[in-house]
């Protein structure tokens, strides 16, 4: 019998008969591997375990606790859900059903309007399909065979998808029991491998995202390798719902979005206190790291955006106006204005690096369906900075920025990981320049000791970048900071400096933001802290609660003294019971409550309650004020 050589991921080689399936190979290596592996990577490509090997290959098996394994579980769960819908609601037509970041969905066309109660019934039917442990069988068809098959089934959505595929495309279908679907795969070997799932919600979705097409019903679900992982995720979602920044923004009177300005947030007095504290901290940190602050106009001429490349590459996201019959644009980015500031005077190598920071308001056109509280808006303030430097300063400057980011994120208790994004399909400049700049970022991170993953093809159109993904207190990640290395805009704007040799040279430039968008960062912090801001950020830091009217005079003097120390203090002198006042202050997430009664008036003390710890007992009023001033200064 003919044999093939299989190279395993540990480098060892094993012989197997030609035509052995990947599942058979897994079982021969170990019974446990055969029972748990979901896919195999064959010569770098993900394959179904049912596939037979006909030639020598390198093989690595994919386990459920890997991202690829989880993707296979969710992709297979989407097919199981579709099969369950077919059983319960015959005549339903199926559009697309992919695995996505946190689960899966299927877009369906049905005369039945699905309800949350239907999701429970579908889940029960899915459980039956999982217990049946049906094998997922892949078949490849010619274009004509596939079109005939789905036309016979009356599935116009699959027919349209097949017609849009290239003439030479390999068309594959998967069947499991009585269900058949058009799909590239790969999938788990059997339905029984999907052990923990939950259907979550129903939404509307236009076919292929085009509002001119039919509105379909999209059913969302999620799936995990174990029930414990699923339960943890669902608990996280419950906690996230409690922390929703839109809900807390209303309750804490921080911001609002009005019908008159969709996507344009209004900041209320409480929200402005948080915002101003963030901006003051930004200025403090940047001053320490050698930045100068600039401000550039919101509206600039079309010629500038043509010069920068935004007119060609970003126009669909911009807003426009005319002034004196000439075209102008509202800036979607601060960079071109920063170029013009640099060009206002000649520069010497002795001045470099120049670090110019800007809290610049930008406007970008976002589709109305994409708007989401402070997370996706149409106007926001980017905490941009542009660093102009000589080529030999690149590594030091990038590492200096990483150090600044590390300090800022640490202040908020936010952990992070980094991603290096490389040249996108539509990019300015030649490949050699891209390679040089990408390698510069890579070397800076390696030398700094910053761990990162590579995100191929996701760089900005003018240069590669490092993105910083923050992890909040309940484990979610948010992309905020970015460092982008740019050798294109200095060229386009003819930026120069006089070198040590007396000749003109082209500076290298870094674009970078640490908050990203102040609006979005505030939204992240609201959810990270569940609205319970640390004292240095809290709109009201102290609420003084006199027990009766005769204690108000003492309370007023305390409030005045604390106000003079810069403490944000509020005196609750209403004729309410002290228990009610305390509960209300807790609901409004005030960091400190000071209860004052006869004993406190007599001793010159305050009875301190901390939001997170309750009653801390009495202390001299001046001592408390000093402790709070220090806590705020230290940004604890």
436: number of Cβ within 10 Å: 16
Question: What is the Cα–Cα distance from 84 to 79, expressed in whole angstroms?
Answer: 9
pLDDT score of 232: 93
Identified catalytic residue from 465, 512, 551, 589: 465
The answer to whether residue 364 is catalytic is yes
Peptide bond into 186 cis (omega under 30): yes
- Candidate list 243, 355, 386, 609, residue with the active-site label: 386
Average pLDDT for 18-25: 92
The pLDDT score that the predictor gives to residue 436 is 82
pLDDT band for position 369 (cuts 50, 70, 90):
confident
Structural contact between residues 490 and 509, judged by C-beta atoms closer than 8 angstroms = yes
DSSP one-letter code for 530: T
DSSP 3-state of 463: strand
Give 477-515 pLDDT, tens digit per residue. Answer: 898 999 988 878 898 899 999 999 999 999 999 999 999
Cβ distance 38 to 193 under 8 Å? yes
Q: Are 21 and 49 in contact (CB under 8 A)?
A: yes
pLDDT for 43: 92
Q: How confident is the model at residue 430 (pLDDT cuts 50, 70, 90)?
A: confident
Q: What is residue 551's predicted lDDT score, i.e. its pLDDT?
A: 96
Q: Where does residue 71 rank: exposed (0-12), middle (13-18), buried (19+ CB within 10 A)?
A: buried
Between the alpha carbon of residue 81 and those of residues 180, 208, 596, the distances in Å are 12, 20, 61
Give bridge partners of residue 508 from the DSSP assignment. 389
Quote the pLDDT of residue 78: 97
Give SS3 for 74.
Answer: helix
Percent of the chain with pLDDT over 90: 81
Max CA pair span of the chain: 101
Paired sense of beta strands 215-224 and 255-256, if any: unpaired
CA atoms within 13 A on the CB side of 217: 18
DSSP state of 537: T
Indicate the pTM of the whole model: 0.82
pLDDT tier, 474 (very low <50, low <70, confident <90, very high otherwise): confident
Report the alpha-carbon distance of residue 384 to residue 360 in Å, rounded.
7
* In the predicted structure, residue 250 carries a pLDDT above the cut 70: yes
Strand ordering across the sheet containing 13-17: 13-17, 3-8, 57-62, 39-42, 45-48
- Per-residue confidence (pLDDT) for residue 62, from 0 to 100: 94
pLDDT band at 1 (very low <50, low <70, confident <90, very high): low
**Is 372 labeled as catalytic in the residue annotation?**
no
Instruction: Give the angle 466-469-474 at the CA atoms, nearest 5°.
Output: 175
Q: What is the mean pLDDT of residues 115-129?
A: 96
Catalytic residue among 47, 198, 275, 511: 511
Quick one: average pLDDT of 143-157?
91
User: Annotated catalytic residue: which of 198, 364, 378, 423?
Assistant: 364
Q: Which DSSP letter does residue 51 get?
A: P
> Among residues 183, 188, 335, 480, which one is catalytic?
335
pLDDT surpassing 60 at residue 104: yes
598 flagged as catalytic: no
Check pLDDT > 90 for residue 461: no
pLDDT, tens digit, 9 for 90 and up, residues 292-343: 999 999 999 999 999 988 888 888 999 999 999 999 999 999 999 999 999 9
Set out the domains of the chain in order of their start, with CATH numbers. Answer: 3-62 (3.10.20.30), 67-240 (3.30.980.10), 267-296+336-528 (3.30.930.10), 542-634 (3.40.50.800)
CA gap 313, 427 in Å, rounded: 9
386 is catalytic: yes
Active site residue 384: yes
CA distance 579 to 576: 8
Counting Cβ atoms within 10 Å, is residue 366 exposed (0-12), middle (13-18) or buried (19+)? middle
Kindly state the helix (H) or strand (E) to which residue 271 belongs, with its residue range. helix 269-288
The CA-atom distances, in angstroms, between 525 and each of 170, 293, 477 are: 47, 24, 12
Q: For position 367, what pLDDT does the model report?
A: 85
Catalytic residue among 382, 393, 484, 541: 382
User: Active-site residue 511, yes or no?
Assistant: yes
Catalytic residue of the set 384, 467, 472, 486: 384
335 is catalytic: yes
| pLDDT of 522 strictly over 60 | yes
Tokens 């019903």 appear where?
A: 217
Distance CA 54, CA 45 (A): 15
What is the pLDDT, as a whole number, of residue 623? 95
With a cut of 90, say whether residue 170 has pLDDT above it: no
Residue 292 contacts residue 357 (beta carbons within 8 Å)? yes
Residue 405's pLDDT band (cuts 50, 70, 90): very high
Residues 6+ apart with CB under 8 A from 513: 382, 383, 384, 385, 480, 481, 482
């Amino acid at each position: 019998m003919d044999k093939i050589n299989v190279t395993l991921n540990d480098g060892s080689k094993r012989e197997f008969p030609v035509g052995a399936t990947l599942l058979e190979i897994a079982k021969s290596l170990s019974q446990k591997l055969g029972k748990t592996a979901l896919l195999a990577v064959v010569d770098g490509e993900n394959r179904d375990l049912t596939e037979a090997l006909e030639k020598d290959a390198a093989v690595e098996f994919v386990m459920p606790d890997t991202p690829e394994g989880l993707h296979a579980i969710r992709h297979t769960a989407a097919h199981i859900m579709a099969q369950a819908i077919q059983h319960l609601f015959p005549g339903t037509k199926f559009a697309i059903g992919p695995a996505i970041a946190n689960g899966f969905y299927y877009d369906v066309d049905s005369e039945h309007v699905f309800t949350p109660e239907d999701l429970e019934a579908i889940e029960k039917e899915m459980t039956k399909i999982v217990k049946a442990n049906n094998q997922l069988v892949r078949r490849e068809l010619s274009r004509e065979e596939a079109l005939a098959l789905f036309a016979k089934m009356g599935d116009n959505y699959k027919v349209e998808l097949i017609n849009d595929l290239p003439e030479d495309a390999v068309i594959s279908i998967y069947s499991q029991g009585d269900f058949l679907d058009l799909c590239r795969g790969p999938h788990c070997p059997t339905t029984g491998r999907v052990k923990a799932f939950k259907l979550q919600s129903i939404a509307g979705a236009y076919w292929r995202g085009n509002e001119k097409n039919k509105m379909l019903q999209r059913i969302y679900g999620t799936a995990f390798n174990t029930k414990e992982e699923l339960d943890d995720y669902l608990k996280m979602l419950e906690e996230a719902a409690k922390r929703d920044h839109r809900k807390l923004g209303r309750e804490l009177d921080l911001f609002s979005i009005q019908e008159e300005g969709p996507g344009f947030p209004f900041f209320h007095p409480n929200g402005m206190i948080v915002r101003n504290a963030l901006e003051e901290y930004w200025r403090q940190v940047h001053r320490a790291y050698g930045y100068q602050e600039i401000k550039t106009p919101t509206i600039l001429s079309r010629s500038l955006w043509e010069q920068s490349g935004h007119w060609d590459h970003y126009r669909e996201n911009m807003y426009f106006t005319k002034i004196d019959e000439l075209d102008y644009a509202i800036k979607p980015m601060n960079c071109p204005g920063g170029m013009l500031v640099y060009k206002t005077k000649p520069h010497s190598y002795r001045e470099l690096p120049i670090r110019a920071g800007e809290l610049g308001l930008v406007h970008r056109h976002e589709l109305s369906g994409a708007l989401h509280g402070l997370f996706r808006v149409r106007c926001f303030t980017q905490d941009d900075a542009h660093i102009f430097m000589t080529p030999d300063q690149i590594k030091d400057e990038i590492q200096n920025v990483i150090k600044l980011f590390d300090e800022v994120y640490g202040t908020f208790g936010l952990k992070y990981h980094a991603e290096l994004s490389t040249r996108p399909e539509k990019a300015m400049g030649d490949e050699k320049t891209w390679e040089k700049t990408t390698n510069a970022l890579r070397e800076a991170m390696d030398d700094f000791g910053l761990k990162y993953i590579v995100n191929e093809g996701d760089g900005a159109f003018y240069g590669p970048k490092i993105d910083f993904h923050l992890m909040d207190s309940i484990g979610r990640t948010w992309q905020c900071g970015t460092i982008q290395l740019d050798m294109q805009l200095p060229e386009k704007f003819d930026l120069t400096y006089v070198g040590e040799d007396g000749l003109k040279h082209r500076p290298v430039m870094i674009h970078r933001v640490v908050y990203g968008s102040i609006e979005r960062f505030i939204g992240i912090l609201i959810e990270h802290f569940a609205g319970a801001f640390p004292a240095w950020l809290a709109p009201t830091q102290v609420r003084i609660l006199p027990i009766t009217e005769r204690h108000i005079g003492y309370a007023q003097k305390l409030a005045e003294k604390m106000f003079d120390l810069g403490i944000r203090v509020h005196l609750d002198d209403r004729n309410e019971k002290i228990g009610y006042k305390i509960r209300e202050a807790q609901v409004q997430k005030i960091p400190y409550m000071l209860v004052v009664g006869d004993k406190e008036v007599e001793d010159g003390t305050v009875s301190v309650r901390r939001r997170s710890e309750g009653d801390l007992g009495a202390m001299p009023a001046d001592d408390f004020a000093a402790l709070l001033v220090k806590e705020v200064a230290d940004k604890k």
